Amino acid sequence: MSPSPEIVTELAARLPEDAAGVEIDPLELTSEERASAHFSARTPGGRLVRVSLPRGVELQDGDVLLRDGEAAVVVRAAAEDLLWLRPRGNAVEWSAACYQLGNLHRPARFLEDGVLTPRDPLVTQMLHGLDIEVERVTRPFVGRRFGAAGAHHHHDHDHGAGHDHDHDAAHGQAAHRHG
């Protein structure tokens, strides 16, 4: 147990699939907590962690916050009360379900077989009214996310073959460069 807080300003790594020999000190966080760039938390192992990441960084299940020898503080997505939408394969149903979630500014995570969103009785009622299959589940709120402008990380894009643009160019801030 660390006597003073350990400050995290950047991610140490992603937990590899084969983490044999690594003592995991899990830090279970909800999706709302994972989206916060600044917070303090205590792990089950007693480590006090103060996180101060760059704006727009969202922690993911398996992110390593700290690595100390063979021990690692690893983010774990907490189980949450969610709705699992599973339109029956009809493109109109999928479109209507996603349109309604977006129209209501609902957070969503996209899976191969459906869409997750935090449980809300009003949303449940609205989707049932559209005859869209909805199931209440308790599971981590993870999956593919399509965020709004500003909810992204920063990096350069390289398209190979003498064509590239930086991150700002992808968002209309600078011109493309062709080699």
Q: Which domain holds residue 86?
A: 79-140
**Which of the listed residues 31, 51, 77 is the one where a domain comes to its end?**
77
Closest CA to 53 of 70, 68, 35, 41: 35
Per the domain annotation, does 174 fall within a domain? Answer: no
Torsion angle defined by CA atoms of residues 102, 28, 153 and 20, in that order, rounded to the nearest 10 degrees: -130
Q: Give CA separation, 84 vs 16, 114, 120, 132, in Å.
A: 28, 7, 12, 10
Contacts of 172 (CB under 8 A, 6+ apart): none
pLDDT single digits (tens) 103-159: 999 999 999 989 999 999 999 999 998 888 899 999 999 999 886 544 444 333 344
The length of the chain is 179
Gap between the Cα atoms of 126 and 134, Å rounded: 10
What pTM, to 2 d.p., does this model score? 0.73
